[in-house]
Amino acid sequence: MAMMTSMSIYLFTIVITAAVFGLAVFIITTRFIRPTRIAEAELRKARDELEQRVRERTTELVLINNELKESREKYRQIFIHAPAGIYEIDFATGKFVSVNDVMCEYTGYTRAEFLNLSPFAFLTEQGKLMIKERLNTVLKGESISKNVELDIVNKDGSSFSAVLNNNFVFKDGRITGSRVVIHDITERKFAERALKKSEERFRNLVESTRDWIWDIDRNGCFIYNSPSVSTVTGYTAQELHGTRFINHFPLDEREKLHMALMRNIRPGEPLSTIECTLQHKNGERRTIETRGVHYYDESGNVLGARGISRDITEKKRIEEEKAELKKNLDRAKKMEALGLLAGGVAHDLNNILSGIVNYPELMLLDLPPDSPLRDHVRAIYSSGKKAAAIVDDLITMARGAARKNEIMNVNTVIREYLQSAEFAGLKASRPEVRIEVSLDMDLLNIQTSPVQVKKALLNLVVNAVESIQGPGHVIVSSQNITLQEPIRGFDEIPPGEYVLLSVADTGGGISPEDMERIFEPFYSRKVMGRSGTGLGLSIVWNTITENKGHINVTSGTNGTVFDLYFPSTRFSLPHKEDNITLDTFKGQGQKVLVVDDEKSQRDIASQLLNTLSYASVACESGEKAVEYLKNERVDLVLLDMIMEPGMNGRETYEKIIELHPKQKVIITTGYADTSEVKSAQEKGAGDLLKKPYTLEELGTVISRHLNA
């Protein structure tokens, strides 16, 4: 603005000087030169031309002055209303020369306050050092960037980020000042920080996810792999960079992948999920699930594809295990349902069979040795025992059936079976089949029912022999086995110590269709009534299941192997008593209360007790037994577990021990819920005597309890 004012004064002085000079020429010419007519004319002409030039020059100066005013106003308006802070510093005075409104708004200072500030008053310490370094660089004659980012401190002490555009003012080769334009970039910096955080979050997400994130170019070559690629493939991102995606998959998978990844798809449309097998660096085959999307240039040409691959090998294994577990659960439920049905039938049959077994036994005690009826009674007794054995097979199918578990050795069961009449009959019927035995002499013991194990062994050997058409051989073996890792058998076998009972044959094998159902009751390929009842393998299944064991079945055209895994125990075999006679376990008139809802059972039990020299009393329900014991005392209670309607055996026992806490009780049943029996025994009830029981079994149990 000062420069424009000086220019106007200069032009005005020139105009005045020209006018004075013209007037002087005119006076001199008029006074000292004799004018002639021609000279006067020329003088007038020169004067007129001079006046015209003066007028033109004056007009030109006026126009220039107006332009200068207009330019000055434009500069003032730009300076005042610029969307950035502007100020000018004079280095000679060390003061602000000018400052615009925006700069005042930025900092909170008024113009008057601003003009009295130090040039560095609104800079941070770091900003001051930066400006001084820039000034020193310029003074050395070196170039600097025009823009620099720094923080501006406001009047209230707050600050904002700004870009400072610094132009130094030079005069006669010296820096005399500086003109500065400042832009507030706080929002931009905030956006940059937000973007940086977002990128950081995305990078952390990509780098921390267990999924493999990849990027391939249009040729199918890797241009990016997330760190988890090493977990999925075994290769590092550097090792895979530039290699082709499909080269890391088996040959039989590549065509499927190529078709899925490189086929033409509309922009934005994702690739379908692909499940395929990947070749791991260590040679393993891993199942992965891949999903991605193509990306394109502006012309719609495919530039490449990006996607995520997830290792689902473990997931697939778990799904298969779940499917297997579900199949096993369904099988177990079916077996349980059939077992409940069989158990109910067996319970009723046992009550009936008690008379067929026990009455002939009592009759044999009364008949003279030479009676012609003894053979007939023995036949009835033998038939009853065989029927009871068949019913016992049904009971074996019933989970929760009454069983007496004891410490036993599988080798003993195998030897007893090999010496049995059943085995002799089997060998006689199939002499062309050789039966071999291989026993571990250091075999550990197991805790289970010897009867169940014997039945399981008998059924497996019979099935093995019958599966062989013509000559062949069956191998029965036992051994100790320790599993460090679980193995997948017909069901999953967990780690642990087991006694393994195996029966292998050289028969034709079991078809896959039959394998799924071989343990179902009454499912049989045999001729019903001739070679089996269809319960054989169901008995095996329930035997091993009730003893928390496991089964593995392998079968093919060369034969079948049944492996039964029984949990082993370190307990020793119990000491066996010598053979005892009837007199050994006879009573001495002790009073025994029989509690049973079946009249025939009460009658049979009472007669057996009387035969054993005990005094018997009978009650038909738990309620009546409790009422009787309120006023009477007995030495022993023979208590049925299942009585309907009314209280069952457990409930009756609980009421009895409220009256007589030390009352001795023996539980009798043909079929019972294990939890009910266990609950009664935990409260103090004695042994479990399974129906139908013999005179010897009843006498032995009672004698043991009364003498305890």
Most confident of 141-145, 226-230, 290-294, 689-693: 226-230
Q: How many CB atoms lie within 10 A of CB 590?
A: 15
456 lies in a domain? Answer: yes
DSSP code of residue 249: S
Same domain, 235 and 116: no
Greatest pairwise CA separation for the chain in angstroms:
204
336 lies in a domain? Answer: no
| DSSP result, 415-439 | HHHHTSHHHHHHHHH-TTEEEEEE-
Q: Which residue has the tokens 């022999």?
A: 465
- Can you give the residue range of the structural domain that contains 11? 2-81
Residue 645: which CATH number?
A: 3.40.50.2300
Q: Is the peptide bond prior to 574 cis by the omega test (within 30 degrees of 0)?
A: no
Residue 610 CA: distances (Å) to CA of 362, 588, 593:
11, 11, 12
Answer yes or no: is pLDDT of 532 > 90. Answer: no
Q: How many CB atoms lie within 10 A of CB 514?
A: 13
Q: How far, in Å, CA of 264 to CA of 266, rounded? A: 7
- Residue 169 and residue 83 in contact, taking contact as beta carbons nearer than 8 Å: no
Residue 553: which CATH number?
A: 3.30.565.10
Residue 253: which CATH number?
A: 3.30.450.20
Answer yes or no: is pLDDT of 523 > 70. Answer: no
338 lies in a domain? Answer: no
Same domain, 622 and 687: yes
Same domain, 596 and 557: no
Supply the pLDDT for residue 3: 45
Average pLDDT on 682-700 reads 84
197 lies in a domain? Answer: no
Supply the pLDDT for residue 119: 80
Q: How far, in Å, CA of 676 to CA of 6, rounded? A: 121
Q: Which helix (H) or strand (E) holds 198?
A: helix 186-208
End position of a domain, from candidates 246, 281, 311? 311
Same domain, 596 and 554: no
E strands in 423-532: 433-438, 445-448, 472-483, 487-488, 492-493, 496-505
Same domain, 130 and 51: no
Distance spanning both ends of the chain, measured CA to CA: 128
Percent of the chain's residues with pLDDT above 90? 11
Supply the pLDDT for residue 73: 60
- Over residues 1-26, the pLDDT tens digits come to 444 445 555 555 665 666 656 666 55
Long-range CB pairs of 315-321 (<8 Å, 24+ gap) are 316/287, 321/492
Q: At what angle do helices 695-706 and 313-366 cross, to 10 degrees?
A: 100
End position of a domain, from candidates 268, 294, 311? 311
CA 213 to mean position of chain CA atoms: 20
Same domain, 534 and 626: no
Answer yes or no: is pLDDT of 554 > 80. Answer: yes
- Over residues 624-667, the pLDDT tens digits come to 999 999 999 999 999 988 887 889 888 999 999 999 998 999 98
Q: How far, in Å, CA of 533 to CA of 519, rounded? A: 13
Supply the pLDDT for residue 627: 93
Q: How many CB atoms lie within 10 A of CB 457?
A: 23
Half-sphere exposure of 666 (CA within 13 A, CB side): 26
Q: How far, in Å, CA of 625 to CA of 655, rounded? A: 10
Same domain, 409 and 494: yes
More confident residue, 138 or 203: 138
End position of a domain, from candidates 276, 311, 346? 311
More confident residue, 696 or 273: 696
Give the amino acid at 227: P
Same domain, 499 and 408: yes
- Over residues 401-454, the pLDDT tens digits come to 445 567 889 899 899 888 888 888 888 899 999 999 998 988 999 888 777 788
396 lies in a domain? Answer: no
- Over residues 460-488, the pLDDT tens digits come to 898 889 889 889 999 999 999 998 888 77
Answer yes or no: is pLDDT of 533 > 50. Answer: no
Same domain, 276 and 261: yes
E strands in 70-145: 85-90, 95-99
Cβ neighbours of residue 380 closer than 8 Å, sequence gap 6 or more: 356, 360
- Over residues 76-108, the pLDDT tens digits come to 666 666 778 888 888 888 888 888 888 888 888
